[in-house]
Amino acid sequence: MKLSLIHRSLLALALGAGLIGSTHAQTTLLNVSYDPTRELYHEYNAEFARYWKEKTGEDLTVRQSHGGSGKQARSVIDGLEGDVVTLALAYDIDAIAEKAGKLPADWQKRLPHNSAPYTSTIVFLVRKGNPKNIRDWEDLVKPGVEVITPNPKTSGGARWNYLAAWGYALKKSGGSEETARSYVTELLKHVPVLDPAARGATNSFVQRGLGDVLLAWENEAFLSVNELGPDKFEIVVPSVSILAEPPVAVVDAVTNKRGTGKTAQAYLEYLYSPVGQKLAAKHYYRPRKPELADPTHVARFPKVNFITIEDLGGWQAAQKKHFADGGVFDQIYAR
């Protein structure tokens, strides 16, 4: 009777190992992505698997991993074997190229439109009826307004939020580096908590009822309104916002090792196809080729005056200046 405990655990061990072993039967791709793309890729993966099966006869399973964009890049650097990365901003993929050499430094030239098959922007999500009357960036720093945005150190969306605010203050008449700095400093004083990732910030605002306004990805804002009731929230489009380009890339070091290069490449190229563009628009990403998407979906996107990351010197410069250790964000947030 006493021996049987050990026997039983060994048996269970063997059984467990068998269960795990049985899951590795077919071709798989791993898409390491950022937080708000869950729904988009959930649907896209199924579509692509169907297309791939028709084209090559190969059974394909695409697995997903989601988290804050910066954290996901860190995981790939630390060895998470994503065949493709679909992150929130170019710098995070630059970091993978730079720190781990898993793809060439010029990766962004390998696919059309800066390797971003869809774009998005930053909008404000406010509570129904807009009780604090928030119309533009200036209204965010009014007394008594609480702003929810995630932590730019870990979240890609938060870095776009931050740069959109910076860009607004810089580009408005009479704007300069100094006014931009003091505006963003003031804005951060209105942030009660910095969540680590975009979805967490959305939950803070939507579920926990924190804050008066959420700085959010446009797609995330649309999703909150539609998932949780148009009677609870509304979207405010500011006078100026930033054109956010979430890029995609094949991670060569992983695909070479796993022999999945062709599949991974096709997976990303298919995002530019009518099917990919339609799905992007359906999930509230602005398609690069709106003519391929459903017109009713495209009509949902309001017209926005865009500034681009190039206006702010490109990602490498912006990252170094604002988000590196000891950068502008560290200096103004510490105060």
Partner 1 sequence: MAGASAFHLGGDHAHRFESRAATRETPLVKWLILGLSLTFFVIFLLMPLIAVFVEAFRKGWETYITALVEPDALSAIRLTLLAAVISVPLNLVFGVCAAWAIAKFEFRGKQFLITLIDLPFSVSPVIAGLVFVLLFGAQGWFGSWLSDKDIRIIFAVPGIVLATVFVTFPFIARELIPLMQAQGREEEEAAVVLGARGLQTFWYVTLPNIKWGLMYGVILCNARAMGEFGAVSVVSGHIRGQTNTLPLHVEILYNEYQFAAAFAAASVLAVLALVTLVIKTWVENRAAQSHKDANRDDAS
**Residue ranges in contact with partner 1 by CB under 8 A:** 2, 6, 9-10, 12-13, 16-17, 19-20, 23, 30, 35, 38-39, 61, 63-67, 75, 77-81, 99-100, 199-200, 203, 223, 227-228, 257
Q: How far is the CB of 206 from partner 1 (least distance, A)?
A: 9
Query: Please, which residues have CB within 8 angstroms of residue 59's CB and are 6 or more apart in sequence?
Result: 26, 27, 49, 53
Of 9 and 179, nearer to partner 1 (C-beta) is 9
- Contact, 224 vs 216, CB < 8 A? yes
- Contact, 172 vs 328, CB < 8 A? no
Q: How far is the CB of 224 from partner 1 (least distance, A)?
A: 9
- Contact, 235 vs 121, CB < 8 A? no
- Contact, 92 vs 116, CB < 8 A? no
Q: How far is the CB of 227 from partner 1 (least distance, A)?
A: 5
CA distance 206 to 216: 12
Residue 69 in tokens: 């964009």
Quote the DSSP letter at residue 103. Answer: S
Of 77 and 235, nearer to partner 1 (C-beta) is 77
Of 3 and 334, nearer to partner 1 (C-beta) is 3
Q: How far is the CB of 4 from partner 1 (least distance, A)?
A: 12
> Which amino acid appears at position 102 of this protein?
K
- Contact, 264 vs 250, CB < 8 A? yes
Query: Please, which residues have CB within 8 angstroms of residue 185's CB and are 6 or more apart in sequence?
Result: 332, 335
Q: How far is the CB of 214 from partner 1 (least distance, A)?
A: 15
Element (H, E) at 34: strand 27-34
Of 93 and 184, nearer to partner 1 (C-beta) is 93
Residue 78 in tokens: 């630390």
Of 197 and 242, nearer to partner 1 (C-beta) is 197
Of 99 and 300, nearer to partner 1 (C-beta) is 99
Q: How far is the CB of 308 from partner 1 (least distance, A)?
A: 30
Q: How far is the CB of 74 from partner 1 (least distance, A)?
A: 9
Using H for helix, E for strand and C for coil, what is the string for 103-158? CCCCHHHCCCHHHCCEEEEEEEEEECCCCCCCCCHHHHHCCCCCEECCCCCCCHHH
Of 55 and 208, nearer to partner 1 (C-beta) is 208
